[in-house]
Amino acid sequence: MSPRPGVTSGLNNQRSNVNRLSAENVTLAYDQRVIAEQLSVEIPDNSFTVIVGPNACGKSTLLRALSRMLKPSAGRVLLDGQVIQSMPAKQVARTLGLLPQSSIAPDGITVGDLVGRGRYPHQGLLRQWSAEDERVVQESMAQTGVAELADRYVDELSGGQRQRVWIAMALAQQTPLLLLDEPTTYLDIQHQIDVLDLCADLHEEQGRTLVAVLHDLNHAARYATHLIALRDGRVIAEGAPKDIVTAELVERVFGMRCQVIDDPETGTPLVVPAARRARDRVGAATEAS
């Protein structure tokens, strides 16, 4: 089961031994539609990495590849030095958790039962529900603030509560790495911040490595410790938000003029889009050229 150093050589291989999760020169495609080519990404251990970029830049696709939902048509995704597709499904599921964009709650399932399903990779035919499972489920529900909802049906909950329940399920999986695909979509602002605060807690207090795709650049800049900016399937910049978020970068990635100021609350970069007139002038200029 150990990675085999020496079988493949070169710089890439050495790099991948540094961090637990990485993508090496992957080509990502749905059928014939190529989303990204020769894309390489490292997820720094113990980071809260956020992937940002305009619609259809391939950020969710990259997350799907990192979580082995999508098999790269070339290149490879490495988890702990092994090609992720070659690893046993349950072993991956004990290391890396994923909260997809859309999840279906089965009819008539209670919160406690749904969170309990996160224990699947730790269970077997003859080890269906250990005392440890029970403890972890209680803990996960307490952390996400849904313990009081344990006996309620998931269909009855509000959007914000439901998202917390799904996060609790992913937590019950007890993975050191947790991937979240747009965890704040469809939530109002207060619940968005709630969920992001929860993510920050998981990262800071429990030392989990988090990777999230976020739409809101300001949320990303405020919460991420490591930012990856994508455009057209390529990494435009990566690093700490403070180091890389500039007006120039935002224009290159999103094609939008803006000012970047200090967030008065946290001191992180805050992107303020330029007023419409200023943007119109840019638009007219680029179209003319």
Partner 1 sequence: MKNPAAKTPARTGRVLRTPGGLSVRVDGRTVTVVVLLLVAALAASVVLIGTGDFPIPAGDVLRTLFGAGEPGQEFIVRELRLPRVLVGLLVGASLGLGGALFQAISRNPLGSPDVLGLGQGATAGALIMIVLFSGSAAQVTFGALVGGLVTGFGIYVLAWKRGVHGYRLVLVGIGVSAIVTAVNGYLMTRADIVDASRAVVWMTGSLDGRDWDQVWPLLVLCVLLVPLCLANARGLRMTEMGDDVSYALGVRVERVRMLLLVAAVLLVAAATAAAGPVGFVALTAPQLARRLTRAPGPNLLPSLCMGAALLVTADWLSQRVFGAGRLPVGVVTGVLGGLYLLWLLVTERKAGRI
Contacts to partner 1 by CB under 8 A: 67-69, 89-94, 97-98, 100, 102-110, 112-113, 115-118, 120-121, 123, 125-131, 134, 137-138, 141, 147-151, 173
Q: Which lies closer to partner 1 via its Cβ, residue 47 or residue 95?
A: 95
Q: Which lies closer to partner 1 via its Cβ, residue 10 or residue 124?
A: 124
Tell me how far, at minimum, the Cβ of 99 lies from partner 1, in Å. 8
Return the structure tokens found at 26: 């992957």
Tell me how far, at minimum, the Cβ of 217 lies from partner 1, in Å. 25
Q: What Cα–Cα distance (Å) separates residue 65 from each residue in 61, 81, 99? A: 6, 16, 13
Q: Which lies closer to partner 1 via its Cβ, residue 125 or residue 285?
A: 125
Q: Which lies closer to partner 1 via its Cβ, residue 136 or residue 271?
A: 136
- Report the 10 Å Cβ neighbour count for 46: 15
Tell me how far, at minimum, the Cβ of 103 lies from partner 1, in Å. 5
Tell me how far, at minimum, the Cβ of 162 lies from partner 1, in Å. 13
Q: Which lies closer to partner 1 via its Cβ, residue 152 or residue 252?
A: 152
Tell me how far, at minimum, the Cβ of 63 lies from partner 1, in Å. 11
Which segments of the chain does DSSP mark as H helices, in order?
11-16, 59-66, 89-95, 111-116, 131-143, 159-172, 189-206, 217-223, 241-244, 247-254, 276-288
DSSP for 111-145?
Answer: HHHHHHGGGGGG-BTTBSS-HHHHHHHHHHHHHTT
Which run of H or of E encompasses 79? strand 74-79
Which run of H or of E encompasses 186? none
